[in-house]
Structure 1
Amino acid sequence: MSLIDPQEYRKAFVKYLRKGTPIHFETKNTKPTTHYIWRTRRDGQVRSSHAEREGQIFSWDNPPEGGHPGEDYGCRCTAEPYLPEASEFMEITLQGVSAGGGAWSSRDFVRHYYRGNGRGVTARETGHLSAIVDEYMTKI
């Protein structure tokens, strides 16, 4: 574990007391890379300006308006080190995706709710698996 200057502890603690800024020494002080990827918690509490930054790459030397992740008041965002040689993208291939019969109507779902005796059903059984996969694949 690397030693952090006591002055840095004091500055970070004062920032925390004033603005509620989370203290993350590892990334902020050592800055293992020149750039970082902005990461949010991806929940309903993320402010819209930070949600827009999700996945974007920023330089440590040129912070966006409001500062780096975790510096703005109450910000829970983090900075993920950006390594240009590592790819964030992957290819997904699905095989054997079929509907397994006609797609259930709203009436079929209601009938199952009342007469299904609590038995769970799969998307394949309802005939909607292909549509769900197609919709998902258009989003990535």
Structure 2
Amino acid sequence: MKIVKAKNTDLENIVLLDKEMIGTDRRKVEIEEAIGQSRCLLVFEESELAGFLIYHTSFFECCFISLIMIKPSFQRRGIASSLLSHMADISSTEKLFSSTNQSNDAMHKVFEANGFTKSGFIDNLDEGDPEIIYFIGKRGEG
């Protein structure tokens, strides 16, 4: 497994993976901006793109992972955990946050297995499915 920062030449492959997962390429501009600002990480398994992560640092001056996407054929192999762990190691802020819908049981397990703790929730983003916020301190101090 290899984790690297995305380059402009990776854009189309990332967008294809994202489109495979959500059925549209509506996040292409967001992905392109993240690549341009060095806020997109890629994970490769045997030279194949297995997933990506996008983050920013505008969440109350803390690092926030806004998107983790793992290709279906690579899910349940620890790839999301590797991305989270890597992000916790390289985070430019002492606090690292992320979130997932209340209904996303698999992602809750990934966060908890990686030392993240629940930090709150936001209603009214997705009707009837609150967004659960997770937190970990730098070097695993959660």
Could you tell me the TM-score, scaled by structure 2's length? 0.25
Higher RCO (CA < 8 A, seq sep 6+):
1
Q: Which of 1 and 2 has greater Rg?
A: 1
